[in-house]
Structure 1
Amino acid sequence: IKKKIRQTKYKDDLTWVGDRLRIDKPRFVELFSAACDGMVDHVKKLLKSPKVRGTNNILMVGGFSESPLLQKRIREEFPSCRVIIPQEAGLAVLKGAVIFGHQPATIAARISKYTYGISTNTKFDRSKHPMSKLKMVEGKEKCKDVFDKHVSIGQLLEIDDVQSEKSYWPLYSNQTQVSLPVYTSTIEDPSFVDEPECSYLGKLTVDIPKHGSDKEVSSSFIFGGTELKVQAVVKSTGETTSANFDFLEGEP
């Protein structure tokens, strides 16, 4: 190891002593500079939002929050804010999860991490829709793969409140089911569900009457403590179908 160290451009900054590698302070600080810069830039971006205007306190939790380098940078970059670092900051997230598990009502609202919507078909508009999205359905021009937004990224979501109810209809006249594919996106206003920023979350399938002209299905999103519930109601019968997507099983 000593030989390898002497062959690198960092030979003046690294020393192998016994079974340990010693790194000079300037080089050690440089190792974390990119991570600290990214954290500072992210906080600056958050503080520019009108939703958090007037913020006076910054609470640092998680393992990285215990780093003296990061603590120093945060205090230097945001001198007007009081920086709060709890004891055992690295365990704060874990402890909070345990407390939340026992007392779900502790959290009254959450900020949406993603934009949520349903993949649907709309009337094709040749002035704005790409021809690759044209789909002929029973003699009518439809635009496929449209991202119909229900919730925007960064939106405040009250726990268990119904979000933006919207209506959908079967694509074909002889359908006995309506499929509602649910997607997320990392941008605020996606146009189509196959854009690189979009991800498939799951699907809700709703049975609809075989006969009759009223086949409208009303869908809504409900965000609970640890899960997203997508609910659909058949307007003509009042029958309700729902699907749950657990936040703890992946990255919804």
Structure 2
Amino acid sequence: MNADDIKDIRILIAIDFGTTYSGFAYVHKETPENVVVNTSWPGREGNPKAPTALLYDERYKKVIKWGNSALEEEPDEVDDDAEEQHRPRPVELFKLHISNLQDKPWLPLQLDYKSAIEDYLTQMGKLIQKTIEKRWPSVKFPQQVEFILTIPAEWPPHTTKIMRECAYKAGLLTSLNSNQLEFTTEPEAAALHCLSVIKEHNLKPSDSFLVADCGGGTVDLTSRKLLPDLKLSEITERVGDLCGSTFIDKEFLQWLGRKVGFQALEKLKSNHYGQMQHLIQRFFCTRIKFKFNGDPTEYKPIKLNLQQYCSDLPQYVTGESKEQMEKSRWILKVDFDSVREMFDPVVNRIIKLINDQLNSSNEKCSAIFLVGGFSESPYLFRRVKETFKYNVPIIAVPALPIAAIVRGAITYGLYPGIIRDRTLKWTYGIRLCRKWVDRKDEINRRTDDGMIFYFYELAQRGINVKVDQKFQGEFLPLRRKQDTTSFNVYYTPRYIAEFCNEPEMKLLGILRIKTNNVQLDINHPIEFSLTFGEMEIKATAKNKKTGKIYNETIFDLDI
């Protein structure tokens, strides 16, 4: 995509590709005040998000349905047991395969998680194209469209690369490295959305606020300071964890498994997935999870009739569990303590995240804003309010919290430079070589020619970096009359590192230079620098003496 193409962008589209639900918003650049959040989906109208779910054919090659249509929630929609048992199980939670989660969600052997992401973005892309063409028939799709895609805060650096490849294969980009696609983190987008409500809460320049984006899979936090020109400064490292609302669903299934047997529950999931979905969505979410506020005086025990919500479960229950269930006529009572025990392991992790984030900053926090679908949980809001009300004067949920991410991402795309700086999540540096020193250096690190490789730090984790800030060093060649060299760029979550083969140390990329007849020696030092842009890191090597640039390359910045 050349410079002329970039100038010809007419439409901005923000995509919140979520773990459990996804959504998009769009705006014409000529009317930036008219942001539209999509609420029209296959099989459902009126919701700002659709399930991140796919239903394939039996070979998992072709997508039959996606979103709401992919989830068979009503058991009576299935013609017979044989049809249900042979119907492919919907594919969900595949986004979590990018994360560092040890126990990855189920995927069929025939399907790679990248293919699932690509397939979902393809289906969403078709809907986006149809929506844009209906609204603005003269706009060329995707040539005159720019996408802003949001990603979780704590996910590994290769996330942006994977999502870019999937977006390209899904037909959203004209080329793999197109400038049509930008990334921002989910909490950063949420913070930008909260700019729209700061006047409601009388926040002023220099005030700091914390945003907790509580979604289905992840919870991401960021702390920002409001600047005089309505820009944002990041005041501490953004953090996140896998403790979204779907983990409460898991706790419910754990509770149920203790009653009927985990093996029986697993067979129900394998053979009658629609009934499992019906049980979670129609019973647990609708009747319990969405309403629970933690007040025992307002809670009345709810009866769960298993034969009504999952009629095929009893055939898999055996032994003592079967005897107990037959005595109770397959009815379980869900009492207050049981529900609170489903919520607390998840909510406690969110409380800890917020507490740690507040303690990591020297700034006084003026407000906590909860956004995302899970932020509408009365119990979560109650616990956050009770825990932090004496330290933080404002604790609020902005209007339409479920759409906060896509709205904030649109703001990010409309106003370049609105993010003034970020706090580095990683320590960055390069691999250098020096003479091995006896009694100082480990013998196993000595090379055959008596040298040792070590990590040279350029930018340390935790420091505040302005957009386009440069970190540099001056380096000499390893050998005299050398006309080529390479700079290996590494990153690590550690604040201090010594060597490039330490645990958690990863190679970001390599910049190779050829000096074209200028022999590198003590009179021709090289200046190597890393420049941190909004979305990328630029590595540059130049002749320190003449200023001539030998080579430059771009690496994705893990934002």
2: CA distance, partners of 1:238 / 1:7: 69
2: CA distance, partners of 1:206 / 1:6: 60
Aligned to 1:122: 434
2: CA distance, partners of 1:202 / 1:74: 42
Aligned to 1:162: 470
1:61 to partner: Cα distance: 3.2
Pair 1:40-2:289 in alignment: no
Runs of 5+ consecutive residues of structure 1 not aligned to the other structure: none
2: CA distance, partners of 1:178 / 1:94: 44
Pair 1:238-2:238 in alignment: no
1:108 to partner: Cα distance: 0.6
Contact 1:119 1:193 in 2 (8 A): yes
1: CA distance, partners of 2:435 / 2:343: 52
Equivalent of 2:456, from 128, 148, 160? 148
Given the superposition, is the C-alpha separation of residues 6 and 185 from structure 1 closer, same or farther in structure 2, using an over 3 Å criterion?
Answer: closer
Q: Which amino acid aligns with 2:493?
A: T
Quote the RMSD (CA, aligned, Å): 3.1
Runs of 5+ consecutive residues of structure 2 not aligned to the other structure: 1-252, 261-301, 312-331
1: CA distance, partners of 2:255 / 2:505: 47
Given the superposition, is the C-alpha separation of residues 8 and 161 from structure 1 closer, same or farther in structure 2, using an over 3 Å criterion?
Answer: closer
Q: Which amino acid aligns with 1:239?
A: K
Aligned to 2:381: 71
What are the equivalent positions in structure 2 for 1:63-212 lying under 5 Å apart?
A: 63-79=373-389, 80-81=391-392, 82-137=394-449, 141-144=450-453, 146-163=454-471, 165-208=472-515, 209-210=518-519
Q: Which amino acid aligns with 1:90?
A: I
Given the superposition, is the C-alpha separation of residues 150 and 17 from structure 1 closer, same or farther in structure 2, using an over 3 Å criterion?
Answer: farther
Please state whether the residue corresponding to 1:230 is helix, strand or coil. Answer: strand
Given the superposition, is the C-alpha separation of residues 218 and 69 from structure 1 closer, same or farther in structure 2, using an over 3 Å criterion?
Answer: farther
1:19 to partner: Cα distance: 3.3
1: CA distance, partners of 2:490 / 2:342: 37
Pair 1:30-2:341 in alignment: yes
1:7 to partner: Cα distance: 8.9
1:17 to partner: Cα distance: 5.7
Contact 1:46 1:52 in 2 (8 A): no
1:16 to partner: Cα distance: 2.4
1:213 to partner: Cα distance: 4.0
Aligned to 1:227: 536
Contact 1:147 1:192 in 2 (8 A): yes
Contact 2:479 2:521 in 1 (8 A): no
More strand per residue:
1
1:179 to partner: Cα distance: 1.1
Given the superposition, is the C-alpha separation of residues 14 and 124 from structure 1 closer, same or farther in structure 2, using an over 3 Å criterion?
Answer: farther
Pair 1:54-2:364 in alignment: yes
After TM superposition, the structure 1 stretch with the greater mean CA deviation from structure 2, 201-210 or 151-160, is 201-210
Given the superposition, is the C-alpha separation of residues 55 and 233 from structure 1 closer, same or farther in structure 2, using an over 3 Å criterion?
Answer: same
Q: Which amino acid aligns with 2:359?
A: K
Equivalent of 1:10, from 254, 259, 269? 259
Please state whether the residue corresponding to 1:172 is helix, strand or coil. Answer: coil
Please state whether the residue corresponding to 1:244 is helix, strand or coil. Answer: strand
1:166 to partner: Cα distance: 0.9
Please state whether the residue corresponding to 1:153 is helix, strand or coil. Answer: coil
Please state whether the residue corresponding to 1:18 is helix, strand or coil. Answer: helix
Given the superposition, is the C-alpha separation of residues 221 and 18 from structure 1 closer, same or farther in structure 2, using an over 3 Å criterion?
Answer: same
Contact 2:424 2:461 in 1 (8 A): yes
Please state whether the residue corresponding to 2:503 is helix, strand or coil. Answer: coil
Please state whether the residue corresponding to 1:10 is helix, strand or coil. Answer: helix
1: CA distance, partners of 2:338 / 2:521: 74
Instruction: Deviation per CA, 1:59-97: give whole Å up to 9, x if none.
Output: 333444343333233222212212232223233233222
| Higher CA-based Rg | 2
More helix per residue:
2
Contact 1:170 1:177 in 2 (8 A): no
TM-score calculated relative to the size of structure 2: 0.39
Aligned to 2:309: 19
Instruction: Deviation per CA, 1:211-238: give whole Å up to 9, x if none.
Output: 6542321122211111111222221332
Q: Which amino acid aligns with 1:78?
A: F
Paired residues in the alignment total 240
% identical aligned pairs: 25
Given the superposition, is the C-alpha separation of residues 134 and 211 from structure 1 closer, same or farther in structure 2, using an over 3 Å criterion?
Answer: closer
Aligned to 2:293: none
Given the superposition, is the C-alpha separation of residues 193 and 39 from structure 1 closer, same or farther in structure 2, using an over 3 Å criterion?
Answer: farther
TM-score calculated relative to the size of structure 1: 0.80
1:185 to partner: Cα distance: 0.9
2: CA distance, partners of 1:148 / 1:27: 53
Contact 2:428 2:457 in 1 (8 A): yes
1:98 to partner: Cα distance: 2.4
1:112 to partner: Cα distance: 0.9
After TM superposition, the structure 1 stretch with the greater mean CA deviation from structure 2, 34-43 or 216-225, is 34-43
